[in-house]
Amino acid sequence: MSSERNRPRVVPDTNIFISALLFGGTPLQIIELARENRILLLTSSDILFELAGVLQVKFKFKKKTALDVISEIKRISAVVFVRSRLRVIEKDPADNRVLECAFDGRADCLITGDKKHLLPLKSYRGIPILRPQEFIKKYDY
């Protein structure tokens, strides 16, 4: 097991967690890297709250099932205590919560599939914003 210092510190947004859970593929590969302690997933209570809501409302998960998902994510992640309140993305304020987690968690990158708001930024305060496939290629997984 590599030390926490040597592992990339990665913030996946809500859609990465949902894609991993429902569709597998590269998003699931990223979650598996966290389970293997090859990367350090960073998340926040805001991201987890949003994820639980989306799973229940949009995907009709039972509350217990959604909470089980959240528990598993917490088990394989570091939950960042977010102090920042950013207003970078006006059209989707929830995206700011992901930027806050990445910034306050000193992330090496943020992973998203959000082509409308996050990916167009390319980076935020020196933190690259990558698609899942770009992350895998950049870090040679």
Listed by start position, the domains of the chain span: 9-138
Sign of CA dihedral 141, 37, 44, 58: positive
Question: What pLDDT, on a 0 to 100 scale, did the predictor assign at position 4?
Answer: 55
Pick one of 3.40.50.1010, 2.30.110.10, 3.40.640.10, 3.40.50.10490 as the CATH number of 9-138. Answer: 3.40.50.1010
Question: What pLDDT, on a 0 to 100 scale, did the predictor assign at position 5?
Answer: 60
Spatial separation of the C-alpha atoms in residues 62 and 56, rounded to whole Å: 6
Largest CA distance in the chain: 41
Spatial separation of the C-alpha atoms in residues 136 and 8, rounded to whole Å: 11
Tens digit of pLDDT at every position of the chain (141 positions): 444 568 999 999 999 999 999 999 999 999 999 999 999 999 999 999 999 999 999 999 999 999 999 999 999 999 999 999 988 888 888 899 999 999 999 999 999 999 999 999 999 999 999 999 999 999 888
